[in-house]
A and B are shown apart, each in its own frame.
Chain A
Amino acid sequence: MNIDFDWKRSNSVFGLSYKPVAYVSFETSRDDWQEFQLTVDSGAIVTLLNPEDCLSLGYNLEDGDKKILNVADNTELAVRIHKIRIKIGDIMLPNRVRVAFAERPIRDLLLGRLDIFDHFEICLKQQILQTSIISRIR
C-alpha cells in the first residue's frame, strides 16, 4: 500500500519553495484521532511536536520520559517522549510510536525517523513535488 502527499508552498529566505509534508493522525486519550500536517524530515531522529499539541491530544506533557535532543544550531532541546498510536494517511502503524513533545515552542512540526521510517520507503520527488510513502507493513 502506498500513499502520495503533495508538497506544500512555503516562503523561504530564497523565495517561494515547496516542502515535503505528510498527514499524520495521532490517537488521543479520548480514543479519537487528531490529524496534523508534519514536515517530512529524514534528518530528525524523532517525530517532534509542540508542548500544547500534547495537551490537545489529551496527554499530560510531564508524563513523558524526559530527553535532551541536540539541535543543529548547537543548542539543546528538552522534550518529553510519549508512545502514541499513529496513522500516516490511512496506514496504521503496528506499534505505538515514540513522539517527542518539545518543552519550549518549536517553529515546525517534524515527521522523524524513530519507529516510523523502518516501516516505509519514503521517496521525495522534487521534480513533481510529491512524497510517496510506500508501506512495508504486512
Chain B
Amino acid sequence: MHNFICTHHDIYSMTRMNVVIDDRLEERFRKAIADTKGLRKGNISEALEEAIDLWIRSRVSLVSLSDEPNIEQYRGKYVAIENNKVVASGTNSIETLAEARKENPNRKVLLKLVSDSDIGL
C-alpha cells in the first residue's frame, strides 16, 4: 500500500489529505499522469482533484449539481441570471433584458429560456 498525500489549494484555503491506496493503482495513476500531463510539480495534486471531482459527480450529481438556482417556476419564460441568481424574467429576451437593465444599462446577464419542451422544439 502507498501512503498518498494530496494537497488541495486555491486562493482561499489549502487542505492536506493523507490516504493509503493500493500500490498498483498508484503506479497506474502516476503513469497516466506522466503520459497525459507530464510529471511536473503540482500535476499529481491537480489530477487527484480532477479524480475526486469526477467521483463526486458520478455519485451525487443526480441529487444536486452545483448551486444552480431553481428556475422551474419560470417554465416557458426567459430569465436573466447574474451571479447564479435570477434578476429578471419575462416572456421574451427583450422584455427580460429591459427589466434586468432598468437601473444599469450596461449590466451583464446570462439569458436562459426555461424550456417546457421535452424534445427541443
Contacts and interface: CB of A to CB of B under 8 A. Distances in A.
B118 interface: yes
Interface residues of A, number: 40
Interface in B74-121: 75-76, 92-95, 97, 108-113, 115-121
B65 A7 contact: yes
Nearest to A19: B115
Interface string A50-78: 10110110000000000000011100010
Contact of B113 (A11, A16, A109, A128): A109
A20 B66 CA distance: 14
Interface residues of B, number: 30
A72 B65 contact: no
Contacts of B121: 48, 71-73, 77, 106-108, 110
A35 interface: yes
Interface of A: 6-14, 16, 18-19, 23, 34-37, 39, 41, 43-44, 48, 50, 52-53, 55-56, 71-73, 77, 106-110, 127-130
